[in-house]
Amino acid sequence: MDDDAIPAATLVVVRDIADAAPELLIVERTAAMAFAGGALVFPGGRIDDIDAALGAGSSEAAAKIAAIRETLEETGVAVGLAPVPTPALAADLQAALIAGKPFAGLIAAHGIALDLEALTLFARWKPAFHHARRFDTRFFIARAPSGEWLPRPQAGECEDAQWLSAAEVLDRISRGEASAIFPTLRNLERLAAHRDFAAIHADAHAHPVETITPWIEERDGVAHIIIPDHLGYPVTSEPLASATRA
């Protein structure tokens, strides 16, 4: 990992819907955010020192812990915890996290353990675009907890949080009603091809996870942004002009 790339983690929470495309937990970042302000993203954030300590020296474990913690803090949806707390308890835990209470102490006080096996590595992205902040982000997938979970967006961080299919998000972006950063867009396209969590999970195991750093290449006189074509993504080349508009 380059020294200037901030370690981060993102969680794609998948809710199966009978006779319809699965829904994903999607967050709209507030417009004032320094990175990806106003964009639709999956919940997540940087890996902090406490995540690393809980991960006991494993960078992937630390990333999973960060993804679980950030998803709970940003949306109030509890994933990767055993036993799964009730939505009411999850809301209390969310409020405590927002107030700055340490994650490990919170779950321990309620007899809750981390269930890192509930998360599966799906992708890893480290774009080298000219942004003030550069992230090395692991994307994980996980099945949504059973029951009715109404996302509760974290004030000041998230404008909204809701369940949407990948196709719905892509449609909003194509109509100019929403925006997404490049890795989110490519992952949405990949997720949209699958009918349920089992298919997404199988896709995660069917392709290698390699760190993706997109590059610029001229094709037929037009600058394109390119990613490798063997990692499961249906779109691996897009004109730079349209990619930056998204």
Q: Work out the mean pLDDT of the chain and round it to a whole number.
A: 93
CATH number at residue 17: 3.90.79.10
Residue 187 is part of which domain span? 5-205
Given a cut of 90, whether residue 213 has pLDDT beyond it is: yes
Given a cut of 50, whether residue 140 has pLDDT beyond it is: yes
Which are the contacts of 148, defined by CB distance < 8 A and separation ≥ 6?
87
- Peptide bond preceding 83 in cis form (omega within 30 of 0): yes
User: Does this model's pTM top 0.85?
Assistant: yes
Burial code (b: 16+ CB inside 10 Å, e: under 16) for 105-134 equals ebbeeeebebbbebbbbbbbbbbeeeeeeb
Is residue 88 situated within a structural domain? yes
pLDDT for 132: 63
pLDDT for 35: 63
Given a cut of 80, whether residue 184 has pLDDT beyond it is: yes
pLDDT for 4: 83
pLDDT for 2: 47
Q: How far apart are CA 182 and CA 128, in angstroms?
A: 11
Task: Give the single-character DSSP code of 210.
Answer: -
pLDDT for 1: 42
Give me the helices (H) in the chain, please. 49-54, 59-75, 87-98, 103-109, 166-174, 182-191, 197-206, 240-245
**Mean pLDDT, to the nearest integer, of 132-149?**
93
Is residue 27 situated within a structural domain? yes
pLDDT for 223: 94
Given a cut of 60, whether residue 107 has pLDDT beyond it is: yes
**Mean pLDDT, to the nearest integer, of 146-165?**
94
pLDDT for 29: 86
Is residue 69 situated within a structural domain? yes
Q: Phi and psi of 16, rounded to 5°?
A: -70, 140
Is residue 238 situated within a structural domain? no
Is residue 55 situated within a structural domain? yes
Is residue 63 situated within a structural domain? yes
Given a cut of 70, whether residue 39 has pLDDT beyond it is: yes
Give the model's confidence band at 209: pLDDT under 50 very low, under 70 low, under 90 confident, else very high: very high
Total structural domains in the chain? 1
Give the model's confidence band at 11: pLDDT under 50 very low, under 70 low, under 90 confident, else very high: very high
Is residue 78 situated within a structural domain? yes
224: three-class secondary structure by DSSP:
strand
Is residue 213 situated within a structural domain? no
